[in-house]
Amino acid sequence: MLKKAPRRTAERILEVTLALFNRFGEPNVSTTLISNELNISPGNLYYHYPAKDELINALFDRFEHSHNELLGAGDEVRNIEDAWFFLHTLFELIWQYRFLYRDLNDLLSKNRRLETHFQTILKNKTRALKALLDGMRRNGALQIDSREMEVTATSMVVMLTYWLSFEYVRDPRHALEPSNAQTALLRGAQHVLNLMSPYLETGQRAHLLKLSDAYNKE
């Protein structure tokens, strides 16, 4: 039992740190605040994570692992319904670790590991979205040539990467609060999907409009 205690403490530290980072933004959260929130001594915190960057890296590792697992599902997308579900699920993961996206430029400027790994994330995300578009093309859901596929996939990645920043700028006091999560995620998924709208088969485009109408009524 004693051997398990440090792992439980380390897990709890990460859970609380993630919540604080998401709520206040990583630059505004000190290790002192984290230890106070946990009601543990700074020394106990440093025992598990000797520096703030180690907390950031540990959370990023979890995000990266889940992110790469999720991208594999892009190969299974065959129609607009599949694409809607895939993108909404991807946005849910981004929301879960939203501090990474909210404070992205600041984090990359300070953390070399995140800088290099996020470049890989963008490449993997672009590759997955190209596979998504190609799968829909082969299934007859859209018509798009290889040159347009590259540009469209890149545009979708840009939207995925900076959507929460856009939401934050629109309403800094409320946009990234948990109560607004569903609206922000649905709106983001809708805008990313609309990037493929010009290439969709007529029935698929009509279905996208139905999905958008259903979202707008919520």
Task: Please give the average pLDDT of every successive group of 10 residues along the chain, which has 218 residues.
Answer: 62 96 93 95 94 96 96 93 94 94 90 94 95 96 93 96 90 83 88 94 92 68
- Architecture of the domain delimited by 1-50: Orthogonal Bundle (1.10)
| Pick from 84, 101, 105: nearest CA to 207 | 84
Enumerate residues 6+ apart whose C-beta is below 8 A from 34.
Answer: 13, 16, 17, 20, 45, 55
Sign of CA dihedral 39, 42, 48, 53: positive
Return the pLDDT at 217.
59
The pLDDT of residue 156 is 97
169 by Cβ neighbours in 10 Å (0-12 / 13-18 / 19+) ranks as exposed
Taking the model in full, what pTM does it have?
Answer: 0.89
Contact 111, 53 (CB under 8 A): yes
Question: So what's the pLDDT on residue 172?
Answer: 84
Residue 215 confidence (pLDDT): 64
* Assigned fold of 54-217: Tetracycline Repressor; domain 2 (1.10.357)
Q: Per-domain residue ranges for the chain?
A: 1-50, 54-217
